[in-house]
Amino acid sequence: MATTEKDKPKKQLIREAAARLFRDKGYSATSMRDLADAVHLRASSLYNHISSKEEILKDICFENAYRFLATMEEVEQMDASATQKVMALLHLHIRTATEDFTSVTAFNDEWRHLSEPDLSAFKALRKNYEGRFQAIIEAGIRAGEFHSVEPAIALHTLFSSVRWLYDWYKPGKKITAEDLEEQMCRLLMKGMTKQ
Amino acid sequence: MATTEKDKPKKQLIREAAARLFRDKGYSATSMRDLADAVHLRASSLYNHISSKEEILKDICFENAYRFLATMEEVEQMDASATQKVMALLHLHIRTATEDFTSVTAFNDEWRHLSEPDLSAFKALRKNYEGRFQAIIEAGIRAGEFHSVEPAIALHTLFSSVRWLYDWYKPGKKITAEDLEEQMCRLLMKGMTKQ
């Protein structure tokens, strides 16, 4: 069953509100006051949950990075074809984009506002994930499962292709999350055209 | 022949620098002073070219919108299959992303900072373009050229899939702009897998 807004812990609601403000107003222009208003808390109560917007940004970025790396670890252990591995990772990207709005912060541009040494640490995790995803694509090309394509182009096209879902998908849309995942996976794996 | 940085008129260089600042610092946090520094002009000289950052944002958004709508007009008149029409539009999206950095402003999130009535006008142009693109996809599904897919999902997946190019593609990359366009078009039309 899908998680409803009410089931989410306060900390997650604060993070999602912050992600939305960072996206709408920009990270620099977002104040703790804006955030308190967005989650209907007094500023003083907000500080019981988090100490600064820098802390929220850091939490959001690293939680998302670790979640993606944990799934990568599982996928690499699978006794499966490159096609099945890429599909498992695509499902993760799509599900994350529809279920957790904070991922917009980590995977669009807001992570650029991290300060050092967090910025370099986050970039290294991102690079690690991208390198391992690209290795799976390369294995699929070598095995003759995938069309011959520059692996970096395939990688970034796949990553980027799900980035509209944050804004578009809402529980209650006439399409279910499962159908959406299936249609997008098919589109990316099999393409638009029938031949 | 590709346009080099030197060939671009001053106004376009200012727009591209503004688009880069909006993306990196956020629109709200970008000042006219930042922009003057980025294009190596005194603030007083910058005002000879543009009057405010609002004006640049508006110029960037509407120029991009009109360029896309002009191509849509041409594509609709083509005596061609839905596949050829979608490919012509994909080429436009890919070429724009690699050749004109200002498109990042209009097609990612910065347009949200337009003030009314420009915001509504821009949204209407965007919606018009999206509706016409979606009608071409629907025609392709009816004609049996495309897999049966929710047209809105195909539309947004295609749009989104090119959004990484702004950051990645630079003249001088080992892949040419032509090869990149061809590989991405093939990937999106034919998919990752061979069967």
In a domain, B195, yes or no: no
Residue A171 near chain B (CB below 8 Å): no
Tally of structural domains, chain A = 1
Q: Residue A112 and residue A128: Cα distance in Å, rounded?
A: 17
Tokens of B129: 């373009």
DSSP B111: G
Identify the pLDDT of residue B1. 44
DSSP A101: T
A170 pLDDT more than 70:
yes
Q: Average pLDDT for residues A43-60, to the nearest whole number? A: 89
pLDDT digits (tens, 9 = 90+) for A3-31: 555 667 888 888 889 988 888 888 888 88
In a domain, A74, yes or no: yes
A62 pLDDT more than 80:
yes
Contact B183 A149 (CB under 8 A): yes
> For residue A17, what are the CA distances in angstroms to A103, A164, B128, B189?
12, 18, 30, 37
Residue B29 is nearest to which of A28, A156, A158, comparing CB atoms? Answer: A28
Residues of B in contact with A160 (CB under 8 A): 160-164
Q: Residue B78 and residue B93: Cα distance in Å, rounded?
A: 18
- What is the band of A44 on the pLDDT scale with cuts at 50, 70, 90? confident
Contact A192 B140 (CB under 8 A): yes
Q: Residue A149 and residue B156: Cα distance in Å, rounded?
A: 22
Domain that holds residue A144: 58-190
In a domain, B120, yes or no: yes
Identify the pLDDT of residue A1. 44
Q: Residue B154 and residue A183: Cα distance in Å, rounded?
A: 9
Residue A47 near chain B (CB below 8 Å): no
CA contacts within 13 A on the Cβ side of A97: 25
In a domain, A163, yes or no: yes
Identify the pLDDT of residue B23. 82
Find residues 20-39 of chain B whose CB sits inside 8 Å of chain A: 23-29
Identify the pLDDT of residue A7. 63
Calculated CA dihedral for residues B143, B145, B149, B153, nearest 10 degrees: -110
In a domain, B183, yes or no: yes
Contact A83 B193 (CB under 8 A): yes
pLDDT digits (tens, 9 = 90+) for B14-68: 888 998 888 888 888 888 999 999 999 888 888 888 889 899 999 999 999 999 9
Identify the pLDDT of residue B7. 64
Domain containing B180 — which CATH number?
Answer: 1.10.357.10
In a domain, B136, yes or no: yes
Q: Choose between A77 and B13: higher pLDDT.
A: A77
Identify the pLDDT of residue A5. 59
Q: Residue B93 and residue B91: Cα distance in Å, rounded?
A: 5
Identify the pLDDT of residue B5. 59
Left if phi > 0, otherwise alpha if psi is -120 to 50, otherwise beta: which for B153? alpha
To the nearest whole number, what is the mean pLDDT of chain A?
A: 88
Identify the pLDDT of residue B90. 92
Residues of A in contact with B89 (CB under 8 A): none
Residues of B in contact with A193 (CB under 8 A): 83, 145-147, 189-190
Question: Which residues, at least 6 apart from B190, have a Cβ–Cβ distance to it below 8 Å?
Answer: A147, A191, A193
Q: Residue A26 and residue B28: Cα distance in Å, rounded?
A: 7
> For residue B67, what are the CA distances in angstroms to A39, B71, B73?
40, 6, 10
In a domain, A15, yes or no: no
pLDDT mean for each 10 residues of chain B (195 residues): 62 88 84 91 86 91 93 96 94 86 76 93 95 96 92 91 81 82 91 82
Q: Which residue of A has its CA nearest to B176?
A: A150
Residue A161 is nearest to which of B145, B160, B180, comparing CB atoms? Answer: B160
Best to test chain A binding among B25, B188, B193, B195 (most A CBs inside 10 Å): B193
Residue B184 is nearest to which of A144, A157, A165, comparing CB atoms? Answer: A157
- What is the band of A134 on the pLDDT scale with cuts at 50, 70, 90? very high
Q: Which residue of B has its CA nearest to A27?
A: B26
In a domain, A134, yes or no: yes
